[in-house]
A and B are shown apart, each in its own frame.
Chain A
Amino acid sequence: MTAEPQSAASPLIHLQGIQKVFLTDEVETHALSEIHLEIAQGEYVSIAGPSGCGKSTLLAILGLLDTPTGGTYTLNGNQVANLDHSARARIRNREIGFIFQSFNLIGDLTVFENVELPLTYRGLSAGERKERAMEALEKVGMSHRLRHYPSQLSGGQQQRVAVARALGGKPSILLADEPTGNLDSKNGEAVMDLLRQLHREGATICMVTHDPRFARHADRQIHLFDGRIVEELVEAR
């Protein structure tokens, strides 16, 4: 990870009083209420909770895919809650790496092209893109499958490629949404090991999961219920 160094007093992510209210048929649904959360650089945080508790909504707000209805969101010291579309896209590209439950690789692109994709939006030279993509693929052990298409890979391999794609941009934080949800237990464990490995190497990770076994992989476990943080555990490592 090559994010800008943060001072101890300045967390990487700072959420203050975040709310998210959905309006459907004149009914207000409070998906998130009064969320206060700080994530420091290098932390491995899991967000767990039952289905519908708001964990995916929280992750979407953290990833700038959604905007909060209220509260403030500071990323790397910058207010990012109410940026325009273009600025949010730029921050997503440079500061955030996504790992999705369904891998979300693009079927028409090879493994290498999938990993290279976010870098093309950054305007990097071809040489630099290649260097970074190769580095990321080597890190996840997929550099031998460069020219393969996603459909030619197993689920576990696809998720590794997705992780490599997230790493390629050297983001400040990795946001993982149920990264093992579409994998069997063996492949699931392997992906969790990979995240653990990345964390040991300095990556900041925020993972949403409903599975307590995987939540325990994180240093800090946050439990959501009805859109509120109801419990926070810090594992002693």
Chain B
Amino acid sequence: MNLRQILRQWAKSPGFAAVAILTLALGIGANTAIFSLVYGLLLQPLPYREADRLVQVHESVPARGVDRVPVAVPNLIDWQRQSASFEGLAGLRHAEYNLTGQGDPRRITGARVTANLFSLLGVNPLLGRTFTAEEEAFGKHFVVLLSESYWRSSFGADPGVLGRSLLLDGGSYTVIGVMPGELRLPSRNTQVWTPAGFEPEELELRGNHSWWVMGRLKSGVTLEQAKVEMNGIARRLGEQFEDVRDFGVTVIGLREELVGELRLPLLILLGAVGCVLLIACANVANLMLARSAARAREFAVRAALGARRGDVIRQLLSESLVLSLSGGVLGILLAWWGVTGFVGWLPEGHLLSTGQINGSVLAFTLGVSLLTGLGFGLVPAWQVWRTDLTEVLKDSGRGTTEGLRRNRLRNVLVVVEVALALILLVGAGLLLRSFSRAQRVDPGFKTEHLLTATLALTDQKYPTEPQKAQAILGMVEQVAALPGVESAAAVFGLPFGRMQSKVTFRIEGRPAPAAHEPDNANYRQITPGYFRTLGATLLGGRDFELRDGPDSARVVIVNESFLRTFFPGGAPGQVPSARVSLDGTNNWIQIVGVVRDIRDGGLTQPVEPQMFMPMSQQCWGLASLVIRTRGSAETLEGPVRRAVLTIDGEQALDQMRSMESMVDDTLAQRRLQAVLLGAFSALALVLSAVGIYGVMAWSVSRRTQEIGIRMALGAQWSDVRRLVIHQGMVLTFLGVALGLLGGVGLARFLAGLLYEIQPHDPPTFGWVTVILIGVSWVACWIPARRAARVDPLVALRTE
């Protein structure tokens, strides 16, 4: 059958063609879109030479169940010297710089890297050269590499940029090269790279874990072999150095490291769109079955004219393939539109923003389209195979209506559709309820009308900690005086912010904790009034005051989790009469207050023990301003910047945003999963409803005569409606029973993504079942209503 004949067939029944192509387009489009995300993250080759040999190496503390700890510089250097598994090990560390001398001061995102990083990755500069080993040394490290996007946006892709100077944190760095856009380490937002320039203190401190380490396995060395070797090295180092006594090493493939926790949700989504495609296939197979039944006489005539059964089947498959390819083309358009919109909706730098429709994705779509065409085309072909075509010609109406038994295959398809739709609805329901629970989590402070911004004071300008603290306090004071500002404070370690730190400590009078016992807490530096500005609750003791200066007794405020962990059994909020030491010396710090738990790692992550130090007693120059405003937080952005500039005309502010949007970002992943699975399950629900409607409508049209007979025999409209709805609902309930079983299975996979929701959450299972049954009922009611309008006289005349 040639294309012209197929198109003529479509022209004869444009409704069939439109519904089939649109259904397939939705199914194939959804698969194309999700595959483009999967491909971008899981399958696309990394832009590095022999990337399968690249690994990320972390320190670990097995006794405490911690498998990923950043690496201390002395350990990195020892690893480089002692390991034989790697062609090389390179270090990199996220860094932010104040860029001055180019208009208003601003913050740019960068990284400090060891000189061998680029050769280890196999990435060559687009322009200029990379770092030499000599430039890695402290004092000789004032050279910088630009990212391609930064070079284009800030320097207009000027090749003459080489040799120019950038004032970063007050130091003059010479531009020596531009790196290609594929290099996205340590993050997609990285704008500049500078040499490691290890400071003398960094080379000494084994307890300062702040570097990420990448390695390239030697050819033939497995990940397991490298792990064994590295843990042997760690054990030897632990015997030599107290700071890393219980440390081990974790070695992870780079792909796995980059993908992180996104793998499972993505695969679940891929499964979900697979289900959507199956439902679409079942729908189109049903349509094709209906058509082939209606065209039985045409096939019989063809058989009488000499066509073999295989010819008829080939004809049906040709029609199916043309349909599926048409659906595929429309699906690509839908996917392109969906992926473009989705990537635009993602937070900047999100891992999934690599999703795009490329050649590989198009090949996938072509394959899916062909498989789909075969999938739904084989069903009616099989039906034709089983039919004796010559008998069809002889058929003269035996005086009975067509039996429903002939619909068995169509009914099975509908049951499968309903089951798949329910499985997806269960998944979406669980994720949505989980997301809803997460949204309702109390962060421990008031997030509304709170503006935040980060700043980093440079050592060049503020060499000492008191100078840094003084400058920050001055900025806070300036900002607090602004009209529209209720109060202001500063913190190192803003809730949900990037700057986080942990500190290991000892409690006075207690022995050193054993390897499996907790010995650290999240570490924060704050200015007086921080808790009040944040809207957090001081449960006991006192807040910091201006008198807690550099020369007064050192003090610390801890949170409830800290008390529960280290002082269990005490009354809530009761300040323990205890002192702690952060540096292993007798430099004791008195606990003076207890604050209610503040969530800071994420709304759904458990609160860890926290320690708050007054910034006037310890200040690293990194801080976030926290500003409680009377009205909209965003309107104060300009005045806050200007207020900071009155204290330091070269000080940049970065990441100025409302706390509400930061909290919102912490839920982005859950929202993403819930929205996508919700959208696909809604699509599945609609498609399965269309499927039920299609089968029931077709059934009603085939049973017109039967309905006419029933009405002639005295059936009321309600009897006819009940007849049709009963038939559809029996299929629905069978599908629901299967779907609930499948839903239980899916819920087990989802368990790790849920928050405060049991995988077998009865309300979720109950509600989605009710929704599906309701939608099915409507899908049955429409043809049932039409059935009840059958004129028995007309129906009987068709005999």
> What is the CA–CA distance of A105 and B400 in the complex, to the nearest angstrom?
5
> What is the CA–CA distance of A150 and B401 in the complex, to the nearest angstrom?
9
Indicate which residue in B402, B705, B793 contacts A65 across the interface (CB closer than 8 Å). Answer: B793
A-B contact count (CB 8 A): 87
Query: With A86-B717, A104-B796 in contact, is A63–B404 under 8 Å at CB?
Result: no
Question: Are the C-beta atoms of B717 and A121 separated by less than 8 Å?
Answer: no
- In the assembled complex, which residues on chain B have CB atoms less than 8 Å from the CB atom of A26? none
Question: Are the C-beta atoms of A151 and B719 separated by less than 8 Å?
Answer: no
> What is the CA–CA distance of A192 and B670 in the complex, to the nearest angstrom?
77
Kindly provide the distance from the CB of B191 to the nearest chain A CB, expressed in whole angstroms.
Answer: 73
Kindly provide the distance from the CB of B648 to the nearest chain A CB, expressed in whole angstroms.
Answer: 87
Q: Could you give, for residues 182-207 of chain A, a 1 whenever the CB lies within 8 Å of some chain B CB and a 0 otherwise?
A: 10000000000000000000000000
Most chain-B CB neighbours within 10 Å: which of A63, A86, A104, A118?
A104
- In the assembled complex, which residues on chain B have CB atoms less than 8 Å from the CB atom of A101? 799
Query: With A106-B401, A106-B709, A107-B403 in contact, is A121–B793 under 8 Å at CB?
Result: no
B399 in the interface (beta carbon within 8 A): yes
* Interface footprint category on B: 20 to 34
A73 in the interface (beta carbon within 8 A): no
Binds B, one of A43-51, A87-95, A138-146, A220-228: A87-95
Question: Are the C-beta atoms of A89 and B715 separated by less than 8 Å?
Answer: yes
Query: With A65-B793, A104-B705, A121-B719 in contact, is A92–B714 under 8 Å at CB?
Result: yes
Kindly provide the distance from the CB of A235 to the nearest chain B CB, expressed in whole angstroms.
Answer: 29
Q: Could you give, for residues 133-160 of chain A, a 1 whenever the CB lies within 8 Å of some chain B CB and a 0 otherwise?
A: 0000000000000000111000100110
Q: Could you give, for residues 48-82 of chain A, a 1 whenever the CB lies within 8 Å of some chain B CB and a 0 otherwise?
A: 00000000000010010110000000000000000
> What is the CA–CA distance of A149 and B402 in the complex, to the nearest angstrom?
12
- In the assembled complex, which residues on chain A have CB atoms less than 8 Å from the CB atom of B706? 106-107
B378 in the interface (beta carbon within 8 A): no
- Residue of B whose beta carbon sits closest to that of A90: B714
Question: Are the C-beta atoms of B401 and A107 separated by less than 8 Å?
Answer: yes
> What is the CA–CA distance of A192 and B111 in the complex, to the nearest angstrom?
102
> What is the CA–CA distance of A66 and B794 in the complex, to the nearest angstrom?
10
Kindly provide the distance from the CB of A201 to the nearest chain B CB, expressed in whole angstroms.
Answer: 22
> What is the CA–CA distance of A182 and B396 in the complex, to the nearest angstrom?
10
B710 in the interface (beta carbon within 8 A): yes
B405 in the interface (beta carbon within 8 A): yes
- In the assembled complex, which residues on chain B have CB atoms less than 8 Å from the CB atom of A213? none
Indicate which residue in A103, A117, A118 contacts B399 across the interface (CB closer than 8 Å). Answer: A103
- Residue of B whose beta carbon sits closest to that of A57: B793
Indicate which residue in A89, A103, A106, A159 contacts B714 across the interface (CB closer than 8 Å). Answer: A89
Kindly provide the distance from the CB of A64 to the nearest chain B CB, expressed in whole angstroms.
Answer: 9
- In the assembled complex, which residues on chain B have CB atoms less than 8 Å from the CB atom of A155? 398-399
Query: With A104-B705, A104-B799, A108-B405 in contact, is A158–B399 under 8 Å at CB?
Result: yes
B397 in the interface (beta carbon within 8 A): yes
> What is the CA–CA distance of A106 and B702 in the complex, to the nearest angstrom?
12
B716 in the interface (beta carbon within 8 A): yes
Q: Could you give, for residues 395-421 of chain B, a 1 whenever the CB lies within 8 Å of some chain A CB and a 0 otherwise?
A: 001111111110000000000000000
Question: Are the C-beta atoms of B400 and A106 separated by less than 8 Å?
Answer: yes
B712 in the interface (beta carbon within 8 A): yes
Question: Are the C-beta atoms of B710 and A107 separated by less than 8 Å?
Answer: no
Interface positions, chain B 699-738, Cβ under 8 Å from A, are 705-706, 709-717, 719
B355 in the interface (beta carbon within 8 A): no
Query: With A104-B401, A107-B401, A107-B403 in contact, is A66–B793 under 8 Å at CB?
Result: yes
Kindly provide the distance from the CB of A175 to the nearest chain B CB, expressed in whole angstroms.
Answer: 10
Query: With A103-B399, A104-B401 in contact, is A63–B712 under 8 Å at CB?
Result: yes
Residues of B within 8 A of A (CB): 397-405, 705-706, 709-717, 719, 792-793, 796, 799
**Further 10 A-B residue pairs, CB within 8 A, beyond A102-B397, A158-B398, A159-B399:** A100-B709, A100-B799, A103-B399, A104-B399, A105-B401, A121-B714, A121-B716, A122-B714, A149-B400, A182-B399
17 CB-based A-B contacts, threshold 8 Å:
A65-B792, A65-B796, A86-B716, A92-B713, A94-B714, A104-B401, A104-B712, A107-B401, A107-B706, A108-B401, A117-B710, A121-B710, A121-B715, A121-B716, A150-B398, A151-B398, A158-B398
